[in-house]
Amino acid sequence: MLIGYARVSKSEEQDITPQISALEAAGCTRVYEEKASGGRWDRPELHRLLGRLGDGDVVVVWKLDRLSRSLKDLLLILERIDAACAGFRSLTEAIDTTIPAGRMMMHMLGSFAEFERAMVRERTQAGLVAARAQGRRGGRRPKLTAEQRAEILAMLDAGRSTADVSRLFRVHRATISRIAAAYSLAASQDVR
């Protein structure tokens, strides 16, 4: 069964009618319509379509960017389609994974995406190394200063409860417990 997916962005004044007409002319018996950004993953109609795919079904879109604006997300969606033993067809780009040439095209797209991910990872690692060389540390800033942690330990030693101390410093009780555990661990290693 040919199943269509038509999407327009919510913020733009786009008409979905040409997409639906093209999908119906291509033989789609059911068309899922969506008004949402292609960059968003939480698109209920797309998930409904993917959840109902069966063996031999073919998902048809007017253009690839109607399915997703991100190559990574596009490949994830195509993997889900493939896992359902279904095919994929884009009318404008003439991609059809039900034939060998279409499958080759999707493998090429996957290779380019994998290459891009590797390049991004390499650039990220180089940036982190350069930042460390300049003395910068990554990650989130600690919520509590060293003085506040020392004060927390003093309060706990004085017999105040973890819940009481967490309310005073406006942090979760688990944060107070982690501070106490880290202090106990450090103290036990100093004894050795």
Which residues are catalytic, by number? 9
Cα distances (angstroms) measured from residue 54 to each of 61, 74, 124, 155? 17, 19, 40, 62
Task: Please say whether the beta carbons of 43 and 55 come within 8 A.
Answer: no
Q: Around Cβ 16, how many Cβ atoms within 10 Å? A: 16
Which residues have C-beta within 8 Å of that of residue 19, sequence separation ≥ 6? Answer: 6, 7, 8, 62, 66
Q: Around Cβ 101, how many Cβ atoms within 10 Å? A: 10
C-alpha–C-alpha distance, residues 5 and 23, integer Å:
8
Residue 191 tokens read as 């004894």
C-alpha–C-alpha distance, residues 115 and 104, integer Å:
17
